[in-house]
Amino acid sequence: MFSFIKKYTETMEHSTIYPIFSLLVFVVFFVGVLWYVKVMDKKEVDTIKNLPLEN
């Protein structure tokens, strides 16, 4: 499936680490954002949310 990438990467040593690393960057990034959003302090969210309506 990834023959078009393999051609370039198989000449590098330990090339299998690159796709795994890319996948990790993705997963960590999005899990990080989702997790952060989940644990946000509700009171603080309400304060920020209402900032545009203050003046």
Partner 1 sequence: MQVESFQYDNKTVRNFAIATIIWGVVGMTVGLWVALQLVFPTTLNLQPFFSFGRIRPLHTNAVIFAFVGNGIFMGVYYSLQRLLKARMYSDLLSKIHFWGWQLIIVAAAITLPLGISTAKEYAELEWPIDIAITLIWVVFGWNMFATIIKRRERHLYVAIWFYIATFVTVAVLHLVNSFELPISLFKSYTWYAGVQDALVQWWYGHNAVAFFLTTPYLGLMYYFMPKAANRPVFSYKLSIIHFWALIFLYIWAGPHHLLYTALPNWAQSLGVVFSFMLIFPSWGGMINGLLTLRGAWDRVREDVILKFMVVAVTAYGMSTFEGPMLSLKSINAVAHYTDWIVAHVHVGGLGWNGMLTFGILYWLIPRMYKTSLYSNKLANAHFWLATLGILFYAIPMYWAGWQQASMWKQFTPTGQLKYQFLETVTYMRPFYAMRSLGGLLYLTGAILGMVNLFKTIGKGTLVANEDAEAPALEATHEKHKGEHWHRWIERKPTLMLVMSLIVILIGGAVEMIPTFLVKSNVPTISSVKPYTPLELQGRDIYVREGCYTCHSQMIRPFRSETERYGEYSKAGEFVYDHPFQWGSKRTGPDLAREGAGNNKKSNAWHFNHLDEPSAISTGSVMPSYAFLIDHELDTATTASKIKAMQTLGVPYATGYAEIANKELMDQAKLITANLKQDGIEVGSNKEIISVIAYLQRLGTDINKK
Q: Shortest approach of partner 1 to residue 15 CB, angstroms?
A: 13
H helices, E strands: number in the chain:
3, 0
48 lies in the site for partner 1, by CB under 8 A: yes
Residue 19 to residue 43: CA distance in whole angstroms: 40
Q: Which of 14, 20, 41, 43 binds partner 1 (CB under 8 A)?
A: 41
What whole-number distance in Å separates Cα of residue 18 and Cα of residue 28?
Answer: 15
Q: Which residues bind partner 1 (CB under 8 A)?
A: 4-5, 7-8, 25, 29-30, 33-34, 36-37, 39-41, 44-45, 47-55
